[in-house]
Amino acid sequence: MTAPDTDPPQLYAAREPIFPRRVKGRFRNLKWLIMLVTLGIYYVTPWLRWDRGPNLPDQAVLIDLANRRFFFFWIEIWPHEFYFIAGLLVMAGLGLFLFTSALGRVWCGYACPQTVWTDLFILVERWIEGDRNARLRLHRQKKWDLRKARLRVTKWVAWLFIGLATGGAWVFYFADAPSLLRDLLTFSAHPVAYTTMLILTFTTFLFGGFAREQICIYACPWPRIQAAMMDEDTITVAYRDWRGEPRGKHRKAEGADRLGDCIDCNACVNVCPMGIDIRDGQQMACITCALCIDACDDVMDKVGKPRGLIDYMALTDEVSERAGKAPRKIWKHVFRPRTILYTVLWGAVGIGLVVALFIRSDIDITVAPVRNPTYITLSDGTIRNVYDVRLRNKLGEERQFRVSAADVPGLEVQVEGSEDALVAVAPDSTHLARVYVTAAAGTAPAVADRTGFTLWVEDLDSGDRASEGTVFNGKEQ
């Protein structure tokens, strides 16, 4: 009697190198276009200039960690305005939900950084080592001769330069690009810049060259998350097995007329960057890049069969097509309650961010009561509270601010170092002022502990005002 197999299932498979064949078609052209646009944006953006005046950086997109600012063309985000970044992240998440519900893993197949850089690495590999068959022969060649060593070293050096450019472009987003480039070349840049470039160079080289599909299958959580957002109406890449089966070479022989349209040429498998066979059905490894569609359509043209054996389609169309009926219109799959809800939510967050951006003030105030002690009783009975008030001047020139109190009669405001409660704030900066709020004896708020009031700050040049509520601590009079 044979003992039962008690070996646990394998959760990881050793990588078998994949050598996708070159393919031409509308989806391949679309991927080339997206790759050029996304890489162009990534590499060029740090070098764009934007005039913000003499006191601000002129880099169009800059994450200024030293001064805790984020500049995006005419928009400047301060640390206390992080809700704009949070809103953009929410929009990005909702956008991914929307596109996944409507078009499956379209993000993974076209715009994911791992896909874009892998496409670039494969392109370089093909230029140096040749197309699929040439790369396969080189891979299977056990003996390392001069030709193999030359091709491999050339390819790896090219990959390293791509990784170095990737890491270099990343650090340019965090400092003035021309200045940082000069410092990098003269070896006077901060060690953090070199460390960051080294890490990104290595990870880009590794992920794009040696762990391509492994990153998508094992490291990325997105394929597993997407399964919960896709349904039978989601448009995705699929094989029409009811039309293609049974497979055969279509030679003139007995039974050839009973074969399906698929000639079992494996063109769809040979062009797949994930190394899967789409004819086996939906698979987690499929990134819906649609290269198999281009390959299959090309073969169908050559054998005189209609295109679309492999195509973008929804699973709900299977029953209709098997019965010989026309599938539903694509727009009916795309515009359905779930996608409409995601679109509404995405638009609402976007509109909210735009409104918040346009209504925000150029001045701002933050009030922090000094709580040790909570209040002071002077010799004449006056009660004094002390506050640390941070004033923000978001304009490009110095402004004079006046601080005042409201809502509670009898409160007087004094600013440390100023006789008339005026504070000068430098352009595009913050200023921390020590503010004293006093209530004279007999007029102090008649409460045992806390009385709410408002501290106002007014720009004397423009008349703009900002305020924040706080409390005045006192005692029973």
The single-letter DSSP state of residue 4 is P
Highest mean pLDDT among 42-56, 80-94, 161-175: 161-175
Q: Please provide residue 472's backbone torsions phi and psi, each rounded to the nearest 5 degrees.
A: -110, 120
CA distances from 218 to 7, 101, 120, 188, 344 (A): 21, 22, 21, 39, 33
Are residues 163 and 204 in contact, defined by beta-carbon separation less than 8 angstroms? yes
pLDDT > 60? residue 477: no
pLDDT in tens, 261-305: 899 999 999 999 999 999 998 888 899 999 999 999 999 999 889
- Looking at residue 448, what is its pLDDT? 47
pLDDT > 80? residue 54: no
pLDDT band of 8, cuts 50, 70, 90: low
pLDDT > 80? residue 127: yes
The C-alpha atoms of residue 287 and residue 217 are separated, in whole angstroms, by 10
∠ CA 123-218-139, rounded to 5°: 40
Taking alpha carbons only, the member of 120, 126, 112 closest to residue 159 is 120
**Interstrand relation of 429-439 and 422-425 (parallel, antiparallel or unpaired):** unpaired
Q: Locate tokens 């959760």: which residue? A: 11
pLDDT > 90? residue 87: yes
Q: Please provide residue 409's backbone torsions phi and psi, each rounded to the nearest 5 degrees.
A: -65, 145
pLDDT > 80? residue 12: no
Give the largest CA-CA distance in the chain.
116
- Looking at residue 9, what is its pLDDT? 64
Residue 259 DSSP SS3: coil
Global confidence as pTM:
0.84
pLDDT band of 251, cuts 50, 70, 90: low
